[in-house]
Chains A and B, each alone.
Chain A
Amino acid sequence: MGNIVIDTWLYGELAKYAGDPQQTVFANPTIELSEGSTIADLLDVLRLPTEQRGITFINGNLSAMPGLQPDLTHRLNDGDRVAFFHLKSMWPFQYRHGVAMIPEMSDAMVEGRDQGLHHSYSAKE
Chain B
Amino acid sequence: MWFLRVNMTDRSAKLEGVPAQYKNLGGRGLTSSLVAEEVPPLCHPLGPNNKLVFASGIITGTPANTAARVSVGGKSPLTGGIKEANAGSSWAQDLPSLGIKALVVEGQPKEKDKFWGIHITWDAAAGKPKIEFFDAAEYTGANLYAVFPKVYERFGEKISIAGCGVAGEFKYGNSGIVFNDMSKRPSRYAGRGGLGAVMGSKGLKWIVLNEKGSPGVPIVDKALFEQGRKKMNDALRTHDITKPKGGLNTYGTAVLINIMNEAGGLPTRNFSSGRFEQAAQIAGEAIFEGNKKRLGQELYNHACSPGCIIQCSNTWHDEQGKEISSCVEYESDWALGANCGIGDLDAIAEMVDLCNAYGLDTIEAGATLGVAMEAGVVPFGDAPGAINLIHEMGKGTPMGRILGAGTGAAGLVLGVTRIPAVKGQGMPAYEPRAVKGIGITYATSTMGADHTAGYTIAPEILGVSGKQDPLSPEGKAALSRAFQATTAFIDTSGHCLFIAFAILDIASGFEGMVEECNGVLGTNWTNDSIVKLGGEILKKERAFNEAAGLTKAHDRLPEFMQTQPLPPHNQVFDISDTALDSVYGEL
Interface set of A (CB-CB < 8 Å, partner B): 9, 11-12, 24-26, 55, 57, 59-60, 62, 66, 83, 85, 87-100, 106, 110, 114-120
Determine the chain A residues whose CB is within 8 A of the CB of B458 once the complex forms: 114, 117
Q: Which of B206-249 contact A (CB under 8 A)?
A: 239-241, 246-248
Partner of A11 from B250, B264, B285 at Cβ < 8 Å: B285
Looking at the assembled complex, report how far the CB atom of B24 sits from the nearest CB atom of chain A, in whole angstroms.
27
Interface check B416, CB cutoff 8 A: no
Interface check B114, CB cutoff 8 A: no
A55 CA to B241 CA in the complex, in Å? 14
Looking at the assembled complex, report how far the CB atom of B460 sits from the nearest CB atom of chain A, in whole angstroms.
8
Q: Is the CB of B280 within 8 A of A25?
A: yes
**With A26-B285, A117-B459 known to touch, is A96 a contact of B246 (CB < 8 Å)?**
no
Q: Is the CB of A92 within 8 A of B459?
A: no
Partner of B240 from A91, A116, A119 at Cβ < 8 Å: A119
Determine the chain A residues whose CB is within 8 A of the CB of B434 once the complex forms: 99-100
Question: What is the total number of residues of chain B having a CB less than 8 Å from a CB of chain A?
Answer: 54
Looking at the assembled complex, report how far the CB atom of A26 sits from the nearest CB atom of chain B, in whole angstroms.
4
Q: Is the CB of B241 within 8 A of A119?
A: yes
Q: Is the CB of B441 within 8 A of A57?
A: no
Determine the chain B residues whose CB is within 8 A of the CB of A97 once the complex forms: 435-438, 456, 470, 476, 479
Q: A66-B240, A90-B248, A97-B479 are in contact. List 19 more A-B contacts (CB 8 A).
A: A11-B280, A12-B251, A25-B283, A26-B280, A57-B263, A60-B568, A60-B569, A62-B263, A88-B246, A89-B258, A92-B455, A93-B504, A94-B483, A97-B436, A98-B436, A100-B264, A100-B571, A116-B470, A117-B456
A93 CA to B471 CA in the complex, in Å? 12
A16 CA to B203 CA in the complex, in Å? 56
A120 CA to B243 CA in the complex, in Å? 15
Q: Is the CB of A88 within 8 A of B240?
A: yes
Interface check B133, CB cutoff 8 A: no
Q: Is the CB of B459 within 8 A of A114?
A: yes
3 closest pairs, A vs B, by CB? Answer: A97-B437, A98-B436, A60-B264
Interface check B265, CB cutoff 8 A: yes
Interface check B179, CB cutoff 8 A: no
Looking at the assembled complex, report how far the CB atom of B317 sits from the nearest CB atom of chain A, in whole angstroms.
16
Looking at the assembled complex, report how far the CB atom of A9 sits from the nearest CB atom of chain B, in whole angstroms.
7
Determine the chain B residues whose CB is within 8 A of the CB of A59 once the complex forms: 568
Q: Which of B448-478 contact A (CB under 8 A)?
A: 451, 454-456, 458-459, 465, 469-471, 476
Partner of A89 from B259, B264, B438 at Cβ < 8 Å: B259
Q: Is the CB of A60 within 8 A of B483?
A: no
Q: Is the CB of B263 within 8 A of A90?
A: no
Determine the chain A residues whose CB is within 8 A of the CB of B414 once the complex forms: none
A-B contact pairs, 5 of them (CB 8 A): A26-B258, A85-B258, A95-B438, A100-B263, A115-B459
A94 CA to B452 CA in the complex, in Å? 9
Determine the chain A residues whose CB is within 8 A of the CB of B438 once the complex forms: 94-95, 97-98
**With A60-B262, A95-B256 known to touch, is A90 a contact of B459 (CB < 8 Å)?**
no
Chain A CB within 10 A, most for which of B240, B250, B441, B568: B240
A59 CA to B570 CA in the complex, in Å? 12
Partner of B258 from A11, A93, A100, A114 at Cβ < 8 Å: A11
A87 CA to B285 CA in the complex, in Å? 12
A26 CA to B436 CA in the complex, in Å? 28
Q: Is the CB of A88 within 8 A of B255?
A: yes
Determine the chain B residues whose CB is within 8 A of the CB of A12 once the complex forms: 251, 285
